[in-house]
Amino acid sequence: MDGTEKPALADSPDMRALHDSEAFAVGYHAFVWGYPYVKGMLLRHGAMHPRTANHAPLNTMHYYTTLARPGFHDFTPTVEALMNVGWVDLSQGPVLFDIPDIDDRYWSVVLVDAVGDAACYLGSRQGSAPGAYALVPLGWGGALPAGVTAIPVRSRFSLLLLRTLVRPEVAGDLDRSVALHAAMVLRPLDPAARVPEIAAEAPVASARPDTPLFHTLDFFARLNQALDEGGVMPGEEGVVAQFAGFGIGPGLTFAPEALSEAQRAGLLRGMQAAHQRIAAELRLGAVTLGGWQFNYDVGAYGHRYMTRATAALFGFGAMIPEETLYVVTTQDCAGAPLDGTGRYAITFAPGQLPPVRAFWSITVYTRPANQLVANAIDRYSVSSQTPGLIKDADGTLRIALQHARPEDPVEAANWLPLPDGAFWLILRTYVPEAPLLERAYTPPPVVRLNGSH
């Protein structure tokens, strides 16, 4: 021995670097995998809270009587369809619901599980019949009433979304849609079933992507809470087991004070990198045509956790492409980020409107909050249902996107108002036809015009 003391292995720079690297990997992968669990839990808690506008206890529907407006949802809503929501808890057995006889219009019932996987079980696309249905937990061995159709569900909590197109050209159609939705009632098969509640004095949860929870180590404690409340999705037990050494997982306590400084720093860097990567996946994981990103892999994710997290970040409960193909862009055709300080145009040539069997819409959302844009004319989208749009003599439709009202009367008629900052666009195509599904249709580019608004 030469008498020179060497640092303990646990305190050596090499070991601190290893701790940091390992924690970075855990933070990254746990955030990507766990983001939908936390987002779903926060949305559920917000909907259950007595002080929120869309409050409804578990296993009941919240009935909206208006179309979506700014502040309407924590996630990106459809503007043209009346949407009703109900959070379901199957811990006490099946939950029944009824579908009324819906007239000749687009409608869909989508069940979204705890991590955002959606299946379009019922709707006009399938020609679904009215009747009684039951959401049934996996492994349940009881008997349903006669005439009730069973729908198996693989998570304790799920979100039921009912969408019905409101036709502006039909007088009183919103009231008719409201009446149709009121006929859909959620109810437990067991009348004695009791479900959790949230006290009125509890803080109101926010699932917005800019909430601090998604940017601090508190996220992992809330992930544990989500797993304790709803469990781990079948087949994902091996994923979460990799995080147990950091106190992340069902039945565990996440205690950052018990971790080393290097571990805490690595976890934080990992989740920050994951958040950036999830946001980038909107472009990187999509098929790009004409500057638009086509998302063909949403709605049913399997083990594609990055895609699942991206869908949860930019919304929750995306439908499968056959029901709704989501086409998005955050950039103009030159690759510059969309910003309301500029003026833009989208020009549909004659016969080149999106080919759909139901309807299409282009909706503006703010970034990063993903909210509708309040404006003087209460127009949040332009769609196949928008009244008053003016086409050229040859059938060309030119949509004007800018913050201030255009002076030209035709542009004013076709105006889609923008925020005064960053935004993005979703082109929704409800029941898309083959050219959309087969990548044979490209929407016109978003062209930035010279000058500002």
Domain match, 211 and 167 both: no
Give mean pLDDT, residues 221-248. Answer: 96
Structural domain contains residue 196: no
Q: Domain boundary at 136, 156, 188, which?
A: 188
Q: What is the model's pLDDT at position 381? A: 95
pLDDT-derived band at 451 (thresholds 50, 70, 90) equals low
Domain match, 303 and 440 both: yes
With helix as H, strand as E and coil as C, how does the chain read? CCCCCCCCHHHCHHHHHHHHHHHHHHHHHHHHHHHHHHHHHHHHHHHHCCCCCCCCCCCCCECCCCCCCCCCCCCCCCCCEEEEEEEEECCCCCEEEEECCCCCCCEEEEEECCCCCEEEEEECCCCCCCEEEEEEECCCCCCCCCCCEEEEECCCEEEEEEEEECCCCCCCHHHHHHHHHHCCCEEECCCCCCCCCCCCCCCCCCCCCCCHHHHCCHHHHHHHHHHHHHCCCCCCHHHHHCCHHHCCCCCCCCCHHHCCHHHHHHHHHHHHHHHHHHHHHHHHCCEEECCEEEECCCCCCCCCHHHHHHHHHHCCCCCCCCCEEEEEECECCCCCECECCEEEEEEECCCCCCCECCCEEEEEEECCCCCCCCCCCCCCEEECCCCCCCCCCCCCEEEEEECCCCCCHHHHHCEEECCCCEEEEEEEEECECHHHHCCCCCCCCCEEEEEEC
Q: What is the model's pLDDT at position 75? A: 64
pLDDT-derived band at 77 (thresholds 50, 70, 90) equals confident
Average pLDDT over the chain reads 90
For 83-104, how does the pLDDT look when each residue is reduced to its tens digit (9 = 90+)?
888 999 999 999 999 999 988 8
Domain match, 308 and 410 both: yes
What is the reported pTM? 0.83
Structural domain contains residue 7: no
Give mean pLDDT, residues 218-238. Answer: 96
User: CATH no. for residue 31?
Assistant: 1.10.3360
Domain match, 358 and 433 both: yes
Domain match, 447 and 303 both: yes
Q: What is the model's pLDDT at position 387? A: 93
Q: What is the model's pLDDT at position 42? A: 94
Structural domain contains residue 197: no
| Whether the predicted pLDDT of 55 surpasses 90 | no
Q: Domain boundary at 188, 215, 248, which?
A: 188
Give mean pLDDT, residues 214-225. Answer: 96
Domain match, 394 and 310 both: yes
Domain match, 89 and 173 both: yes
Domain match, 169 and 22 both: no
For 88-146, how does the pLDDT look when each residue is reduced to its tens digit (9 = 90+)?
999 999 999 999 998 889 999 999 999 999 877 899 999 998 999 999 999 899 999 99
User: CATH no. for residue 372?
Assistant: 2.60.120.600
For 282-311, how does the pLDDT look when each residue is reduced to its tens digit (9 = 90+)?
666 678 888 898 988 889 899 999 999 998
Number of structural domains found in the chain? 3
For 150-198, how does the pLDDT look when each residue is reduced to its tens digit (9 = 90+)?
999 999 999 999 999 999 888 999 999 999 999 988 999 999 999 989 9
Q: Which domain holds residue 389?
A: 285-452
Q: What is the model's pLDDT at position 1? A: 42
Give mean pLDDT, residues 75-79. Answer: 80
Structural domain contains residue 49: no
Q: What is the model's pLDDT at position 9? A: 42
Domain match, 252 and 307 both: no
Structural domain contains residue 271: yes
Domain match, 266 and 325 both: no
Q: What is the model's pLDDT at position 241? A: 96
| Whether the predicted pLDDT of 412 surpasses 90 | yes
Domain match, 101 and 180 both: yes
